[in-house]
Amino acid sequence: MLAKVLSSALLGIDAILVDVEVDIAQGLPQFATVGLPDGAVKESKDRVKSALKNSGYEFPNRRITVNLAPADIRKEGAAFDLPISIGILAATGVVKDHRLRNYLLLGELSLDGRIKPIRGALPVAVAARASNLAGIIVPKDNAGEAAVVEGVDIIGVTELAEVVQFLNGELDLNPHRVDVQSLFRQNAEYGDDFSEVKGQEHAKRALEVAASGGHNILMIGPPGSGKTMLARRIPSILPPMSFDEAIETTKVYSVMGLLDRDKALIASRPFRSPHHTISDIGLIGGGNSPRPGEVSLSHNGVLFLDELPEFKKHVLEVLRQPLEDGRVTISRALTSMTYPSRFMLVSALNPCPCGYLGDPLHQCSCTPIMVQRYRSRISGPLLDRIDIHIEVPGVKYRDLSDSRDGETSIDIGKRVEQSRLLQQERFRGTKVHCNSQMTPRLIKKHCELDEAGHRLLELVTDRLGLSARSYNRILKVSRTIADLAGSDRIRDNHISEAIQYRSLDRKTE
Q: Is the pLDDT of residue 507 over 60?
A: no
pLDDT at position 506 is 52
Provide, for the chain, the percentages of residues in helix, strand and coil under a 3-state DSSP scheme, each rounded to the nearest 5.
Answer: 40, 20, 40
Q: Length of the chain, please?
A: 509
Greater confidence (508 vs 210) lies with 210
Best CA proximity match to 234, nearest among 247, 249, 254, 215: 215
Question: Helix axis angle, 160-167 relative to 81-91, nearest 10°?
Answer: 50
What is the per-residue pLDDT for 324? 87
Query: What is the pTM for the complete model shown?
Result: 0.90
What pLDDT sits at residue 199?
85
- The top-level CATH class assigned to 179-411 is alpha beta
Mean pLDDT, the chain, integer: 91
Report the C-alpha gap between 80 and 105 in whole angstroms. Answer: 8
pLDDT in tens, 32-69: 999 999 999 999 999 999 999 999 999 999 999 999 99
CA angle 344, 320, 234 (to 5 degrees): 10
Task: Return the bridge partners of 348, or none.
Answer: 219
The CATH number given to 2-178 is: 3.30.230.10
303 or 72, higher pLDDT: 303
| pLDDT score of 508 | 42
The share of the chain scoring above pLDDT 70, in percent, equals: 99
237 with 211: CB under 8 angstroms?
A: yes
Per-residue pLDDT averaged across 76-83, rounded?
94
Using only C-alpha atoms, what is the Rg of the chain?
A: 28
Sorting pLDDT into bands at 50, 70 and 90, what band is 165?
Answer: very high
pLDDT of 244 higher than 50 = yes
Quick one: DSSP state of residue 120?
-
Residue 214 confidence (pLDDT) above 80: yes
Specify the pLDDT at position 505.
Answer: 67
Does position 173 have pLDDT exceeding 80, yes or no? Answer: yes
Identity of residue 11: L
Would you give the DSSP letter of residue 437? G
Tens-digit pLDDT profile for residues 413-431: 999 999 999 999 999 988 8
Residue 478 has pLDDT above 70, yes or no: yes
**For the segment 218-242, what is each residue's pLDDT rounded down to a tens digit?**
999 999 889 999 999 999 999 999 9
pLDDT at position 201 over 70:
yes
Contact 41, 76 (CB under 8 A): yes
Query: Looking at residues 241-266, what average pLDDT do you find?
Result: 89
**How far apart, in whole angstroms, are the C-alpha atoms of residue 125 and residue 137?**
10
How many Å apart are CA 5 and CA 87, to the nearest integer?
6
User: pLDDT-based confidence at 185, cuts 50/70/90?
Assistant: confident
Comparing 47-51, 299-303, 315-319, 446-450, the range with the smallest average pLDDT is: 446-450
